[in-house]
Amino acid sequence: MASQGNQQPEIGRIVRTILLSSLVIVLPGLQWSFLGWLHIFLPLVTFYTLSSFGGYTGKRLLIISVAISLVVYLLLRNFDLFVFSFALLLSGYVLFNSAECHDPPALSGLKSALALAGSWVVIFTVLSLGSEVSAYGQLVSSLDDGISEALEYYRHSGDISADTLVVLEATLYRMKVIVPLVMPSILGSFILMITWFTMVLGNMLLLKTSGHAPWVRYRYWQLPDKIIWVVIGTGLLALLPIQPFRAIGINCLVLLSIVYCFQGMSIAVFFMNKWNVPLLLRSFFYVMIVFQSFGTLILLVFGIADIWFDFRKLKQDALNQPK
């Protein structure tokens, strides 16, 4: 009886994990327009389950959850969305394997982001088979149509002055040119944000629940200094008046800017903890700095400047440590 009582919580935890994982995978398929945001948690589900239960048990729990979800998606006749969900789960698995290899945060994030990007490329390619227009082309075309519809709406709206309409038309026409150019970096930005979210939240949850985590706290994360040379190289490409080199440079610069914003955020978190800023004021600051374009620019500047100024003195501390 005693042994059964000791095993019951573990069995309950396993059942809860399977049910929760299955729900996170299935719910977007039931009502994507309302619950599609749950997709961002799928890599976290994989990473946290494998890290909490270990690779052997965690894989089996995830396989059961995926099998249940597959049955539901087949009943819903929505297999395409299941494949998209599976790609997100796969990126969490790659992140777990990287953490098991004791890779630093930057390398782990790179592996996970590349795995998700590669999966999306394969999915887009498969969905494009037998079609005159690729799935990526259809996405760009639908956005262009949306901008055109918005332009027509404003033209026929009587509530907008002539001067305002001229500004809106110029803006929307510029968007029709810029959006197709930067669409790869827009999709890449989603991948980077999902990867960053999974790593930061997953690391924090493991530290709180088990007392240990694969990486140090987020406020101590730092990018390798050599990445700045990639920024300089892509910046030179963006200045070239030759396609597709200019497009490649612009998209790479956008993605690298986001990466350095992550580093800028880690600096902000470091000093918020160092100065013991109250939680309410800290939350307000985070919201303002993320959703304000000027705040994002500040994060980018501090993220890049940290290469030379080492605001948190992490490099100095590393040199002072005994070897």
Q: Compute the average pLDDT of residues 175-200.
A: 95
130: left (phi over 0), alpha (psi -120 to 50) or beta: left
Q: What are residue 161's phi and psi, to 5 degrees?
A: -70, 165
- Identify the pLDDT of residue 159: 76
pLDDT, one tens digit per residue, over 226-239 is: 999 999 999 999 99
Residues contacting 230, CB < 8 A, separation 6+: 252, 256
pLDDT band, very low/low/confident/very high, at 213 (cuts 50, 70, 90): very high
316 pLDDT exceeds 80?
A: no
pTM above 0.85, yes or no: yes
CA dist list (Å): 285 to 197, 263, 266, 282, 312: 18, 16, 13, 5, 19
pLDDT, one tens digit per residue, over 95-110 is: 999 999 999 999 999 9
Neighbours of 224 (CB within 10 A): 11
Q: What mean pLDDT value characterizes the chain?
A: 90
- Identify the pLDDT of residue 6: 44
pLDDT, one tens digit per residue, over 147-181 is: 889 888 888 877 778 888 888 889 888 998 898 99
- Identify the pLDDT of residue 8: 42
322 pLDDT exceeds 80?
A: no
Residues 300, 261 contacting (CB under 8 angstroms): yes
The radius of gyration of the chain's CA atoms, rounded to the nearest angstrom, is: 23
- Identify the pLDDT of residue 5: 43
Q: What are residue 27's phi and psi, to 5 degrees?
A: -55, -40
More confident residue, 192 or 289: 192
3 pLDDT exceeds 80?
A: no
- Identify the pLDDT of residue 76: 92
Domain boundaries, the chain: 1-127+183-215, 219-313
- Identify the pLDDT of residue 9: 46
Q: Compute the average pLDDT of residues 190-213.
A: 96
Q: Compute the average pLDDT of residues 56-76.
A: 96
- The number of angstroms, rounded, from the C-alpha of 33 to the middle of its chain's C-alpha atoms is 19
